[in-house]
Each structure stands twice: as C-alpha cells, then as structure tokens.
Structure 1
Amino acid sequence: MAGEPENEPDEPTATRRIADDAESSRASRGWWDRNADEYQEEHGGFLGDDRFIWGPEGLDEAEAGLLGPADGLKGLDALEVGAGAAQCSRWLAAQGARPVALDISHRQLRHALRIDTEARTAGPGPIALVQADATALPFRDASFDLACSAYGAIPFVADPVRVMREVHRVLRPGARWVFSVTHPIRWAFPDEPGPEGLSVAASYFDRTPYVEQDETGRAVYVEHHRTLGDRVRDVVAGGFRLLDLVEPEWPAWNDQEWGGWSPLRGNLIPGTAIFVCERG
C-alpha cells in the first residue's frame, strides 16, 4: 500500500561451504561494487590517497622497503593487483614508477578516478586503471618489472595458483612479486576485535571457504582460507622463489579497530602475512 515502508532486504547468512572460481568472482565483483563507497569513507583516511599501506597494522612501504629500495623503483613498470582506489599505485608513481592499477570492481576504480581528479594539480598525474579479474590478466607476457597486492584479489579467489601463474606470466625475469593477505592463523579465531576474539573457535586446517549468501543461497561474499604452508606451496607452484615472509607486529601508535583487527589482538597474534617473492 502507498505510504508503507519498503521491505528491507534480508541480511546475508554466514556459512562455510565450497565456492568455485566463477561464484567467487561474481561475489567479489558485486560485493566491492556495493561496498566501495562505505569502505573508502571508513578506511580512506587511514590508507591515505597516495600511501602504500600493507594492512590494518599500518606497515608503510616507505619504511618497510619490501619492494626494494624506493630509489630503485624509478622507471619500473609496476602492476598493482586488486588495487581498490589505487592508493599504492599512486605512491609508486610518486617514486617514479609507471604503475597500472587493476581491480575487479568498477566502483573501486571510480574512487581511484575521483582521487586523481581531486589531486589533478599535484602529483605525477592520473594512474592507469584496468578493470579485470586477477585470474586472467589482460596483459602481454613479460610486461612488468614489479607486481604487488595489498589484500587484493588473492584471499577472494578459489584457486590462488591461477593468480600466481598469471602474475608470473606478465612479469619479467627477476621481477619481485609482493602480496599481503590475512594471516592464516586468524581463521582459527572469531572475527572479533575484543576478548571474545582470543579463543580458538575453528580448526586452522579447515579450508572450507567463508561465504555470505542471500536468501536464495547465492554467494554475495566469499573469502578463501589457506594455511601458511598452502600459501608457500601456491607461491612455488606459480613459479616464484619465496624471499621473505613478513608478519607485521602491531605498532604502539595504532589504536584503531578494523574488523577483527585491534591493538588487543595484534599484540598477541599476527593479523597479516606478507609474501616477498621473486620470479625466476
């Protein structure tokens, strides 16, 4: 009837079940398109417009140097996988690199355009943006000198080795590939920032994907769990050498909560794993 409030859509139901490549890809594209505005509003201040932050702990590439010395980035062709609003690519451009920011979400890339437009009079200029799935990179072989991903794509794909092999294909020999993901140990704990998130609630070895689905059973969000050993084997299967595995400690200055990340949990268990790899 006229004047009656519209029914609100039901909240997604969380479950653990199998989700293949196609379902995971559809869910990721839809979720990030729907939630990009809220994500950038909530976390944009922390991430900045042109900083390279590896995760909720706040580890900054300017200090960490995981991609190599900053003065060695000048002139490099760089690919950011799962770039969101391209904050990391913008930092790379400021170091003199030539970055391409790739993301599955059109709405996230719209935020990248917005930031570039707002900063038109400063910085190195607009970032090259590409909308594509990380399991099928639309680039020629050996196109890049460097690839990176800060929580982009890899946790959301059913077969991460496909991403590794695609990144390997588009990189030149000797190129570095550095990516961060949720630390595998976090999957054994509830996704809560407070004391309730400190007790083991699930098997670390349960690789069943975390899925949020609507009332029809359609996945609207999918995240895939891999153990630490799985991640290492994925890197090797993709043709890379693992140079370093970084588990950032929670810094004293960071008092924010971000989902299940918090100072309480961060001082006790690792929240992020960063894999520093090299193409053979």
Structure 2
Amino acid sequence: MNDSGSVGDPEPVSFGYRDVPDDGRAARRWWDANADEYLDEHRDFLGDAGFRWGPEGLTEAEAGLLGDVAGRDVLEVGAGAAHCSRWLAGQGARAVATDYSAGMLAGAATLDAATGVVVPRLQADARALPFADGSFDVVFTSFGALPFVPDAVRVHREAARVLRPGGRWVFSVTHPLRWAFPDDPTSRGLTANRSYFDRRPYVETDAADRVLYAEYHRTVGDHVRDVVAAGLVLTDLVEPEWPEWNTQVWGGWGPERGRYLPGTAVFVTTRP
C-alpha cells in the first residue's frame, strides 16, 4: 500500500506515466530508503501483529480468505515487517515471511521485541522464491510485490509452483479502476483524468533519469489472465467497501472518496 511520492534520497525531479527500463530493483531501493518512515506513519493502523487486506481496514479475521490456517504451512511474499504473518502464527499457522527489501525486514526485527512473536523470514524476490515445489498450503500477499514489478505473471507462477495441490494463492492490490483517477483522497479524485487501459507505469526519476520508483498497472482482465496463465483458478474477487469507523487518510485512500470508488481488490485463487 503505497503513499504517492518518494521521501528517500536522491529526490525525484520527474514524475509521470511512461515506459522505462526497470527490472524491479527500483522498488527494493525505494522501500529500503523509506521503510522506517512508512512503518512509523502506519504503525497504529497496522498494529504490531494485525492482518489487514488494504486501507479500508478489512481484516483476515473478518474475511477468512485464507481458510483455516491452523497447522498449515503459509508463505507471505512482500511481507514488509511481517504483520500479517505474526497474526497467522497466533492462529496456529507455520508462517514464513519474505520481502525483497532489507529495510522492511529490518523493521520486522523491531516488531519481534514489541510482540514477542518471531516468524521465520528471509530476503527474496517473489519472482524467484527459494523454496521447493509444493512447500506450502497457502501463499499470500497484502499489497506486496505485484504492483512493483513489470512482470507480475512470474509472481503468480512462483506462487503456483510452491503451492501444494488444492492450495490457495491470495493477493490484494490497488483496485485497477483507481488508475483512471487522480491519486487524491478528496472529491477531486472522483473525476477520471487518464485511460484505465493505459498500462504505462507511474515513474519517478532523478536528475540523471535513474528510476527511483515505479508502480505498474494491470486491468482486472490482466490480473485474471495472469493467474490463469500460471495454472491457477480464480474462485473469488473481493472489493471491500469503506467502513464508517475508518476515518484515516492513507495516500489516495480515504473516507471521502472511499464512499464512491473501490480502492482495493483481493483475488482468491487455488491450485487445482
């Protein structure tokens, strides 16, 4: 779940939508530089060991999208500080957390002491997971990995590879409809200003035109085709409504716009 705009060094001098040569490493640099600020800003909402599927606040305890995890082997990719994995460990899961960013994983170490719950974790690219075929019953990510790589189908294929037959791959992303609207949580963000079908990434570059941050858009159809190409079966698509209790503003998400436009999409898939 990204807040638009980078805060790390060097400062971006160019913002916009254009094709760039990026293999996903820009995301690792950005999250390494911004991990501490991100975790500090959203600490109260995320909790020390909570599991939310998106800024609307939908929890796994409410949604049950992963099924009964007690005694199951569960892998989180793009785990950040492993909030979700900690919650799952409390439900009896054998959880493992991975993230591409060393900065985010360092933040997880801080939460170890705060919660007393330590889950195994390692630095890994979600497109090349260091696990054997059929190692897990459930693989999931909450806003991790997929928005930050140009080749998301590789993430789906890796999830399918490490799943056991009948296992679930569940992922949440910014709702694709949001791409057509300004990243503004107020009523100004209710008027579309770009094509939903424009798949050029949002990019921030420095004075030398080096990519500092890139976020990639896929339509709903793109996501469906990607999971099907990975040999998975789509079983559910959840679009959380903005709840009355949630008054927070998080980047482009907030109650004013959330009453009208979906902000998160959660795809539930299974490996046959």
Query: TM (normalized to structure 1)?
Result: 0.92
Output the CA distance in 2 between the equivalents of 1:24 and 1:252.
Answer: 40
The answer to whether the 8 Å contact 1:187/1:225 transfers is yes
The answer to whether the 8 Å contact 1:75/1:97 transfers is yes
Output the CA distance in 1 between the equivalents of 2:135 and 2:19.
Answer: 34
Output the CA distance in 1 between the equivalents of 2:242 and 2:212.
Answer: 31
Could you tell me which residue of structure 2 aligns to residue 181 of structure 1?
A: 173
Q: Kindly name which structure, 1 or 2, has the bigger radius of gyration based on alpha carbons.
A: 1
| TM-aligned CA distance change 1:161 to 1:10, over 3 Å | closer
The answer to whether the 8 Å contact 2:12/2:212 transfers is no
Q: What amino acid does structure 2 have at the position aligned with 1:33? A: D
* Correspondence 1:114 to 2:105: no
* Correspondence 1:168 to 2:160: yes
* Correspondence 1:151 to 2:143: yes
Output the CA distance in 1 between the equivalents of 2:13 and 2:91.
Answer: 42
Indicate the SS of the match to 1:211. strand
Mean CA deviation greater in 206-215 or 111-120 = 111-120
Output the CA distance in 2 between the equivalents of 1:102 and 1:94.
Answer: 18
* Correspondence 1:136 to 2:134: no
Output the CA distance in 1 between the equivalents of 2:131 and 2:229.
Answer: 21
Could you tell me which residue of structure 2 aligns to residue 44 of structure 1?
A: 43
Output the CA distance in 1 between the equivalents of 2:11 and 2:98.
Answer: 32
Runs (4 or more) in structure 1 with deviation over 3 Å come to 8-12
Shift of 1:73: 1.0
Output the CA distance in 1 between the equivalents of 2:10 and 2:72.
Answer: 47
The answer to whether the 8 Å contact 1:24/1:221 transfers is no
Match of 1:229 among 214, 221, 225: 221
Shift of 1:239: 1.0
Could you tell me which residue of structure 1 aligns to residue 3 of structure 2?
A: none
5+ residue gaps, structure 1: 1-7
The answer to whether the 8 Å contact 2:139/2:163 transfers is yes
The answer to whether the 8 Å contact 1:19/1:158 transfers is no
Shift of 1:15: 1.7
Could you tell me which residue of structure 2 aligns to residue 3 of structure 1?
A: none
5+ residue gaps, structure 2: 1-8
1:268-279 matched pairs, under 5 angstroms = 268-279=260-271
Output the CA distance in 1 between the equivalents of 2:190 and 2:180.
Answer: 10
Could you tell me which residue of structure 2 aligns to residue 53 of structure 1?
A: 52
The answer to whether the 8 Å contact 1:24/1:222 transfers is no
Could you tell me which residue of structure 1 aligns to residue 62 of structure 2?
A: 63
Query: TM (normalized to structure 2)?
Result: 0.95
Output the CA distance in 1 between the equivalents of 2:232 and 2:11.
Answer: 43
Shift of 1:9: 4.9
Output the CA distance in 1 between the equivalents of 2:41 and 2:111.
Answer: 15
Output the CA distance in 2 between the equivalents of 1:274 and 1:25.
Answer: 22
| TM-aligned CA distance change 1:237 to 1:146, over 3 Å | same
Q: Deviations over 1:167-189 (max 9, x none)?
A: 10011000011100000000000
| TM-aligned CA distance change 1:24 to 1:57, over 3 Å | farther
Match of 1:211 among 181, 203, 207: 203
Q: What amino acid does structure 2 have at the position aligned with 1:206? A: D
| TM-aligned CA distance change 1:195 to 1:60, over 3 Å | same
Percent identity, aligned pairs only, is: 60
Output the CA distance in 2 between the equivalents of 1:155 and 1:11.
Answer: 19
Output the CA distance in 2 between the equivalents of 1:245 and 1:76.
Answer: 23
The answer to whether the 8 Å contact 1:25/1:133 transfers is no
Output the CA distance in 2 between the equivalents of 1:27 and 1:203.
Answer: 25
Q: What amino acid does structure 2 have at the position aligned with 1:29? A: R
Report how many aligned residue pairs link the two structures.
264
